[in-house]
Amino acid sequence: MSADDKSARPANVAVPVPDRRERRRFLGALGGLAAVWAGASLYPVYRFLSPQPAPDPFGKEGRAVVEKISPAEVAQNGMGKNGGYAGRGVIVFRNESGELKAFDSKCTHAGCNVQFQGAKLFCNCHGGTYDQTGKNIAGPPPRPLTELRVFEDQGLLFVARLAGPGKG
């Protein structure tokens, strides 16, 4: 159906054969709407797959027990060790001034667990280096390590958030 045919008809009478271009526009718009509806109905799948918020590692009491390190292993100045808490890595050591320190051992660069090497905390993956205050002093790490509050209670070591609650 050409444009001439159309103009030959009285203006107020529509053409029996549907206008192709109008039809395509309509289908396009409807297709867009259908895509939006279909997309929205995938939301449950998205929620199914999206991770649930991780539980607070320090729990209700605000503290977590340190695994694989006993108080005796950090009794002397300069002693320290890699251990774990709530499914994460931790480094606990006693510095030269006799202070007990703890850092979450996850490297701020790419997430490897750094190793306690006495004076420094060293990451074997890309050579990131931190000093005993957790400050990044060499290699790729962009930020200092996360420091934790550490204390002994009834023969066990516990860590807590620096500023958080938790008996200690």
Q: Which residues bind another protein (CB under 8 A)?
A: 9, 12-18, 23, 26-27, 29-31, 33-34, 37-38, 40-41, 44-45, 47-50, 52
Q: Which is nearer to another protein, 30 or 137 (CB)?
A: 30
Find the shortest distance in angstroms from Cβ 74 to another protein.
35
**Separation of CA 101 from chain center:** 24
Spatial distance between the Cα atoms of 136 and 95, rounded to a whole number of angstroms = 17
Q: Nearest 5°: CA angle at 134, between 133 and 139?
A: 130
Of residues 44 and 155, the one with the C-beta less far from another protein? 44
* φ/ψ of residue 25, rounded to 5: -65, -45
First to last CA, the chain: 87
**Nearer to another protein (CB atom), residue 15 or residue 75:** 15
Name the residue nearer to another protein (CB basis): 37 or 54: 37
Residue 3 CB, shortest distance to another protein, in Å, is 16
- Compute φ and ψ for 46, nearest 5 degrees: -60, -45
Q: How far is the CB of 1 from another protein (least distance, A)?
A: 12
